[in-house]
Chain A
Amino acid sequence: MSLNVSAVRADFPILQRKIHGKRLVYLDSAATSQKPRQVLESMDQYYTQKNANIHRGLHTLAEEATLAYEEAHRKVASFIGATSMEEVIFTRNTTESLNLLAYSLTQKLKKGDEILLTQMEHHSNIVPWQQMAKQRGLVVKYLPINATGELEDFSHLNTKTKIVSLAHTSNVLGTTNNIQKIAKRAHEVGALCVVDAAQSVPHKSVNVRTLGADFVAFSGHKMLGPTGSGVLWGKKSLLDGMSPFLYGGDMINEVSFQGSTWNTLPWKFEAGTSAIAEGIGLGAAVDYLTRLGMDAIEAHEKELVKYAFKTLDVEIHGPPAERHAGVLSFSLPGVHPHDLATLLDHEGIAIRGGTHCAMPLMGLLGVAGTARASVYIYNDKSDIDALADSLKKARKVFA
């Protein structure tokens, strides 16, 4: 079934906005998606009907808030094919999920152990590992990318490798990595496989059990959910053996002045009062995506990518159209990406210009930054046409 984009668009109040008197053409969903009213209403309903702190307090509101928050975990678990909600930890965002892993998974590593990343990683999947490596004497290595921005050389993967952490889909190149294959190779040398799925889970069906990785991190706010909602999925057997990342209330079982024991999963990793409304909002986002169907969403974006490759007269970084996700980074010779973003903004078109939190990758591409247009469920071909027209104009201005 294909997407009914005009019906989808009607659910997003912000798309009615005019920007500089023009129709808003939102092509920055890789940064954060817009939110449908169903998500906004679910949070509004929580605040107006159920607001209370969860997992404590015996009154009706506390009970209802707890149930709603736990139900959101169950929805996410089912959405990604997790065995149970115990494997689904709510965080603030992908960055926090990856920091949790970097901290907790490196506790038992020894000096000289290797962490393997790739050259296409977002800063959030580089910096936490670099910091832990500095503290513990670990070595960080990077799988190189080839001319089409894809991985093919895995020679850095060896028996010293303890953790392989990589993007499922690159937020710059639109490359989608073959996680099944890489996770298998990681396991063969005894390494764990961590996946930054921030750019994949919102856009296609991802089943954590068939993916084959040990941990999967993603952001709720890139998949119609509110900001401040993120997820870390991990295999229960591994999460059970890991140290908590944040300590305090709600993550403990028993506390004395001498010491403490930890709460059960997933709460062991959710210290303090959670972002309750945001968690509930993420549950509503998952409902919305499920109703549309992830396969239909993927097909819709593929169609737009194909059309964009045909229509936009620019060099797009990364793999060819048939293997390219809905993240389109490009450079217009002689026009700095920030100038381009500003010019397009005056046409009502929202794109990202800059380094996309991937400065090492920009160095490899030999550019100071790129312009990036990214598509989602509410975009259609007219948005790509608007972008193409404005790029023509930008060329003229800077000719």
Chain B
Amino acid sequence: MNLDPNYVGDGLYREHILDHYKHPRSAGKLDNASFSHRELNASCGDEVTIFVNEKKDVIDAFRFVGKGCAISQATISMLSEVIVGKTFSDIMQMQREDILELLGIDVGAQRTKCMMLGLVALKNGIALYQAKREYG
């Protein structure tokens, strides 16, 4: 058994993932957010509430408050670094592959839901925001 303190599994818990988990970027709330949205993985208890400020359907600012496993929380932190400046339609087109690229490693079928939590929250939040704006 490998008891090297620098050993981080077979890569799933590699340094940058743990770093984002322990020191999440964009943590906290946004005052006067254009919208906020809470998303939950009921089966594992991971959750996140996102806060988004938009200008003409472009993400101007993003913050989040969440709790859950390292994969779910680190992914949201990583997402926060790449989504500011993107349009809503850019976000709506993001897929599983984009998240895998951020993580740099495949998490396997059982953890896919954890990995997708942040993007699902964003997409659902945007869809609800747009619907509300359009239909009141």
Contacts and interface: CB of A to CB of B under 8 A. Distances in A.
Contacts of A396: 5
Contact of A369 (B10, B18, B44): B44
A336 B71 CA distance: 10
A12 B86 CA distance: 55
A368 B10 CA distance: 26
Given A338-B111, A347-B1, A354-B44, A368 B67 contact: yes
Interface residues of B, number: 22
Interface in B1-59: 1-3, 5, 7-10, 12-13, 18, 22, 43-45
Given A339-B70, A368-B45, A397-B18, A20 B111 contact: no
Contact of A397 (B9, B43, B67, B111): B9
Nearest to B15: A397
A392 B3 CA distance: 8
A398 B70 CA distance: 9
Scoring A336, A347, A354, A392 by chain B CB atoms within 10 A of each residue's CB, the highest score goes to: A336
B44 A338 contact: yes
B76 interface: no
A393 B45 contact: no
Contact of A346 (B12, B67, B68): B12
A288 B126 CA distance: 58
A338 B18 CA distance: 14
Interface in B59-86: 67-71
A94 interface: no
Nearest to B111: A342
Contact of A393 (B7, B67, B114): B7
A29 interface: no
B67 to A, nearest CB: 7
How big is chain A's contact interface, by range? 20 to 34
Contacts of A347: 1
Nearest to A399: B5
Interface string B107-136: 000010010000000000000000000000
A91 interface: no
Contacts of A346: 9-10, 12
B12 to A, nearest CB: 6
Contacts, number: 54
Contacts of A354: 43-45
B118 to A, nearest CB: 15
A339 B13 contact: yes
Nearest to A389: B1
Interface string A375-399: 0000000000010011011001110
A355 B12 contact: no
B13 A343 contact: yes
A397 B8 contact: yes
A287 B3 CA distance: 42
A149 to B, nearest CB: 20
A398 B13 CA distance: 9
Contact of A20 (B10, B13, B43): B10
Contacts of A337: 69
Contacts of A336: 68-70
Given A338-B114, A368-B67, A397 B3 contact: no
B48 to A, nearest CB: 13
A390 B12 CA distance: 15
A302 to B, nearest CB: 27
Contacts of B114: 338
Nearest to B107: A342
A386 B44 CA distance: 25
B3 A393 contact: yes
B66 to A, nearest CB: 11
Nearest to A334: B22
Contacts of B8: 397
Contacts of A369: 44-45
A14 B2 CA distance: 24
Among A337, A343, A392, max chain B CB count under 10 A is at A343
A392 B10 CA distance: 16
A396 B70 CA distance: 14
B1 A338 contact: no
17 contacts: A20-B10, A338-B114, A339-B69, A342-B12, A346-B9, A346-B12, A347-B1, A354-B44, A368-B67, A369-B44, A369-B45, A390-B1, A392-B3, A393-B1, A393-B2, A397-B8, A397-B9
Given A338-B114, A389-B1, 4 more contacts: A336-B69, A354-B43, A354-B44, A397-B7
Interface of A: 20, 336-339, 342-343, 346-347, 354-355, 362, 368-369, 386, 389-390, 392-393, 396-398
10 A-B pairs with least C-beta separation: A336-B69, A368-B45, A338-B69, A396-B5, A339-B70, A346-B9, A339-B69, A397-B13, A346-B10, A389-B1
